[in-house]
Amino acid sequence: MLYNDATNDANVVNVTHNTTNNNSVKHSHSSETTDPDPVPILGLFGSLYEWFDFASFASMSPEIGAAFFPNESSQDQLLYTMLIFSMSFVLHPLGALIFGEIADNGQLNSSVLTLMSLHPRSPPSNQESRISRNLNRTRALLLSFVFALLPTLILVILPDYNMIGKSSQYLLVSLRILQGIAVGGQSPGCHVLAVATSKFQNRGFRGSLCHATATFGYLLANVVVLIVRHVDAEGDWTGRWRVPFFVSILFLLPMIVWLRGIVNSTEEELTALYVQHHGENGDEDDSSLSADTIQDMTRNTCDNSDSALENLASAHRRTHKRSSDFFTNLMYRRKERALERKKNKTAAVRIIFKDNSLTQKLVGHVLTVAVLTASFNLLVIFVPLYISEMTEIITTRMASVWTFITLLWYILVVLTAGRWNDRNPPRIQGIVLGMLGVISATPLMLLSIETRVPSTIFFAMIVHAAVLAFGYSGCASWQVEIWRKHPRVTYTGVALGHNISGCFFGGTLPVLGLFFANKRINNYCENWNVSLMECYEAMSENHFFPLYSLGFYVMALGVASLTAILFIAHHPKTARFLNVDEKYEFFISDNKATPAKLPAEVEMTTKFAALSQQISNVAVKNKKNSLDFAPDKSVSPRSPQSLRAARKVVTEFFLMNHPRKLKDVDKLLKKFEGKHEMLFDKLTKKYKLKPDHFDEAFKRSYNSSSFVLI
């Protein structure tokens, strides 16, 4: 099955020009088959297992604590279980590095792409590159699921403390560490696959759907926990905590089989593309190259060594009797390929930390997600445990029901807000509004616990879930979009930013809250020799409640996240462009759209594709200080073609030199509409530019027959 990317990793919408057929425009987004693409579905449901396992361990923490720490108090059992829970989060960044490297720097199907690049008349196209890149990402996701299967199986049959003593505790910690490494690349990988293959007009909804399906995994875990606790209402069965993990295996095994089928079918299709690629370039001998022969070459030459290249050339010569020049061409380009392999072997994480702009992007990514992941764990883990297990305001079963209703409401708001984000670009504003809501709603939710009124607490949880869902609705698409400009580190960047934030801010928040609450409650009870309920009441009356500090902590994270998303993590969608471009993106990315069906103003802009290469050649050839966007006298300087050309080059210039000032593009173009020479003269004087600065921006914008949509 082909990976039908709506756009490539440089946000390029390809428009093929057929000069022999009156320069008609063909859209690369048109689909030749009606079969659904499994990759978006994979991206949506791939993270369901991770969140199911995550919720199973958190919801069953009282039972797990009693099984592995029977000699401790109930509060200490809960605290130790949450510590183990947090340890798995600590290892998430390591999993992100491992599976991110496989996805971004893998050598899957490299020999097929090598054949394409070495063939003198068949360079690899964007389509094959995108398919291979997404294939690497799918393979990394498959490996993470396989790696997660073993610790889950062992956990289901793991003996408890009464059977093997302290050894069970060490085994439990080891299994959760392995589990943390395995799931380090799952949710981010699913986000990348789902958002990268989506269209422009529904990217926000696709990202919100990713988060909704992940939350649905958390919801399913709560349903399983509710059923288990209802069946064993008396708590006689000490091994009931194993049931949710057994159910998770039922999700995991079909997912592995499905992923393996996708990988196999995509490898076959990539091989078929190679055969078709040679045939379309007019080499009759190349059509005799069978798919089985190419697959044998792929398996035998995956290391890309010199001996493998010679074997590759021999196999190719046996298949192509009259292609005697192939071996010569292969040897000629061996040194060039060796340098390219050395460059491609650079670890993705090293690329990120060697580039200051990428490092800044990673820091901004981590801080932006911090308040969202911390608030989510506060809502669905800490508050239910605190009001049921530690303060006994409600029963454990009632806490599970509250969590179920809250998550169901959360999913509905996430999907609604995701659709709203697509209709009101840029999507960053939804995240900012959600963060402002979290900063306000978190202290109110924590203060409501002091009232000890269940209805007040439940209402505060519902309000907190709504504002948090609004912030999370655009988070998945935002995380992928800020890294898509850098395809060599996209998977690693998304996974690192997501998991480092979860490690330091999300996974530690329940432990932090329970630690302070447990410590203060125990100290108060020991000093005054009172029961737990009397201790809680006395603490509330004397304003000795420890949740104040937790509320201030979340508010501080909110301020840091707002600062990061607005000033540190540069997002390419923050600049607003002309309405005609937005309409163009909507129509051009629709598979059903054709030039004949486009509105008049949008159809006029499509004609610029045929002129862009002309304009580029004239400008580069003349090397003028101020570029002429209308070399053809029949094109008016105020026409949509000329205006679009000016905006594209100015935008490219700002991206190259002053990315923080992208917001000035529209203002400058409106001021100098139709007077492009004056505009470039003004920019040259203001920023003290050399004449070749705009030439470079022009080359980058128009060196190919593609529209670069920022």
Burial of 682 (0-12, 13-18, 19+ CB in 10 A): middle
- pLDDT over 90 for what percent of the chain? 19
Q: Which of 54-58, 682-686, 689-693 has the highest mean pLDDT?
A: 54-58
Do the Cβ atoms of 175 and 158 come closer than 8 Å?
Answer: yes
Q: How confident is the model at residue 176 (pLDDT cuts 50, 70, 90)?
A: very high
What is residue 314's predicted lDDT score, i.e. its pLDDT? 54
According to the model, what pLDDT value does residue 303 have?
43
The arithmetic mean of pLDDT across residues 614-619, rounded, is: 42
pLDDT at 423 (0 to 100): 81
Per-residue pLDDT at 497: 93
The pLDDT, as a whole number, for residue 201 is 74
Mean pLDDT of 73-89: 85
Hey, which bits of 437-508 come out as E strands? Answer: none
- CA dist 396 to 168, 228, 656, Å? 26, 12, 56
Sequence-distant (6+) residues with CB within 8 A of 56 are 221, 224, 225, 244, 245, 247, 248
SS3 703: coil
Average pLDDT over residues 49-59: 88
Long-range contacts of 457-465 (CB under 8 A, 24+ apart): 457/383, 457/387, 457/393, 458/402, 461/379, 461/383, 461/402, 461/406, 462/406, 462/409, 464/375, 464/379, 464/438, 465/379, 465/406, 465/407, 465/409, 465/410, 465/413
Radius of gyration of the chain (CA): 29
The number of CA neighbours under 13 Å toward the Cβ of 273 is: 24
pLDDT (0 to 100) of residue 129: 67
Residue 290 has pLDDT above 50, yes or no: no
Contact between 672 and 665 under an 8 Å Cβ cutoff? The reply is no
H or E element: which one contains 707?
strand 706-708
pLDDT (tens digit per residue) in 630-681: 334 444 444 455 555 555 655 655 555 555 555 565 566 566 555 555 665 6
Asked if the model's pLDDT at residue 155 lies above 80, the reply is yes
Note the pLDDT of residue 643: 53
pLDDT band for position 325 (50/70/90)?
very low
Half-sphere exposure (CA, 13 Å, Cβ side) for 81? 27
Residue 126: is its pLDDT beyond 90? no
Higher pLDDT residue, 536 or 359?
A: 359
Range 451-461 average pLDDT: 92
| 186 pLDDT higher than 80 | yes
pLDDT cut 70: percent of the chain above it:
55
| 210 contacts 190 by C-beta, under 8 angstroms | yes
Task: Return the pLDDT at 683.
Answer: 60
The first and second tokens of residue 184, run together, are 């380090």
Q: Cα–Cα distances in Å, from 460 out to 55, 336, 431, 705?
A: 21, 63, 20, 54
User: What pLDDT score does 587 carry?
Assistant: 35
**Which of 69-73, 133-137, 548-552, 620-624 is predicted with the least confidence, judged by mean pLDDT?**
620-624
Rounded to whole angstroms, how far apart are CA atoms 69 and 574?
A: 51
Q: What is the dihedral of CA 362, 554, 507, 406, to 10 degrees?
A: -110
In the chain the domains, ranked by start, together with CATH numbers, are: 12-17+36-263+349-574 (1.20.1250.20), 264-347 (no CATH), 579-708 (no CATH)
> Pick from 561, 407, 557: which is nearest to 475 by CA?
561
pTM to 2 decimals?
0.68
Residue 181 pLDDT exceeds 50: yes
Residues 6+ apart with CB under 8 A from 320: 283, 285, 286, 288, 289, 326
Give me the sheet containing 24-27, strands edge to edge: 24-27, 12-18, 706-708
* Residue 579, pLDDT score: 35
Q: How far apart are CA 675 and CA 625, in angstroms?
A: 14
Band (pLDDT 50/70/90 cuts) for residue 294 is very low
| C-beta separation of 244 from 59 below 8 A | yes
pLDDT at site 638? 44
Name which of 72-86, 157-171, 410-424 the model is least confident about: 72-86
- Report the candidate in 196, 231, 184 with the shortest Cα–Cα distance to residue 47: 184
Q: Is 686 helix (H, G, I), strand (E, B) or coil?
A: helix
Query: Regarding predicted confidence, which is higher, 89 or 646?
Result: 89
Between 616 and 84, where is the model more confident? Answer: 84
Q: Give the chain's largest Cα–Cα span.
A: 95
Each residue of 235-267: pLDDT tens digit?
677 788 999 999 999 888 888 888 888 888 777
Cα separations (Å) of 564 from 356, 367, 439, 485? Answer: 16, 6, 15, 19
**221-230, 329-338, 460-469, 587-596: which range is least confident on average?**
587-596
Alpha helices in 60-185 (DSSP H): 61-68, 74-90, 92-105, 110-118, 126-156, 161-164, 166-182
The mean predicted confidence, pLDDT, of the chain is 70
Q: 427 near 206, Cβ under 8 Å?
A: no
Task: Note the pLDDT of residue 410.
Answer: 95
The pLDDT assigned to 264 comes to 80
What is the per-residue pLDDT for 39?
59
The pLDDT value recorded for residue 91 is: 87
Please name every residue paired with 24 in a beta bridge, in sequence order, or none if there are none.
Answer: 18
